[in-house]
Chain A
């Protein structure tokens, strides 16, 4: 089973709506990363969270790491078609390797 569980697996929203994607870990997170992937392409780094309670924002995307450091949420405000893609969370492992969740596929309807 995966160490990182993402929910939902897919999401369809109307343009302008807010949405939240969750990433839950079975272990304490020491570094949690959010990436975005456009269909059929490589991943692009969005942000990284390390401290419990930490919150970071980039444009209309906000990510939080809960106090217990086992769950992170990614919130998009006023979604746009440019937000469409696959969002993946990743967690640091022992060395500099990383493990990823299965991803959440976001579709934004104009």
Chain B
């Protein structure tokens, strides 16, 4: 079975802190994605990557950066956390090309105080 794991299920950080969220997949997927999910807004794409060291902005990249140094690992970085970044963060991965069936991690619920 495909497994996508995220470093934490729950995280509480203070305003201004640098926050790292990590995602690891074990299916050799080329594509990896970071979303945030907020009530009434659904999933919004922050960044995605289709190869090592490659990244593409999604719809809401402001305040975030990403890193993909290895194929299986995709990190989301909040350079200076703010309260409006309190949200559920979901990571996903998929094969490049063909049917874009994405496999999701369990999510990280981040609270910024």
Contact = CB atoms under 8 A, between A and B. Distances in A.
B41 to A, nearest CB: 6
Nearest to B98: A96
Given A42-B104, A43-B102, A96 B97 contact: yes
Contact of B50 (A44, A45, A95, A99): A95
Contacts of B33: 97-98
B42 A96 contact: no
Interface string B5-27: 00000000000000000000000
A92 B96 CA distance: 12
Contacts, number: 69
Interface stretch (B68-76, B78-86, B105-113): B105-113
B42 A98 contact: no
Give the size category of B's interface with A.
20 to 34
A95 B90 contact: no
A31 interface: yes
Interface string A90-109: 10100111111111000000
Q: Label chain B's interface by main secondary structure.
A: strand
Given A40-B109, A42-B4, A43-B90, A100 B42 contact: yes
Interface residues of A, number: 25
B107 A101 contact: no
A84 interface: no
A2 interface: yes
A31 B48 contact: no
Given A42-B107, A97-B48, A33 B42 contact: no
Interface of A: 2, 6, 9, 31, 33, 35, 40-45, 48, 88, 90, 92, 95-103
20 contacts: A2-B42, A6-B42, A33-B100, A42-B106, A45-B101, A88-B42, A90-B43, A90-B102, A95-B48, A95-B50, A96-B31, A96-B100, A97-B33, A97-B45, A97-B56, A98-B45, A99-B59, A101-B42, A103-B42, A103-B43
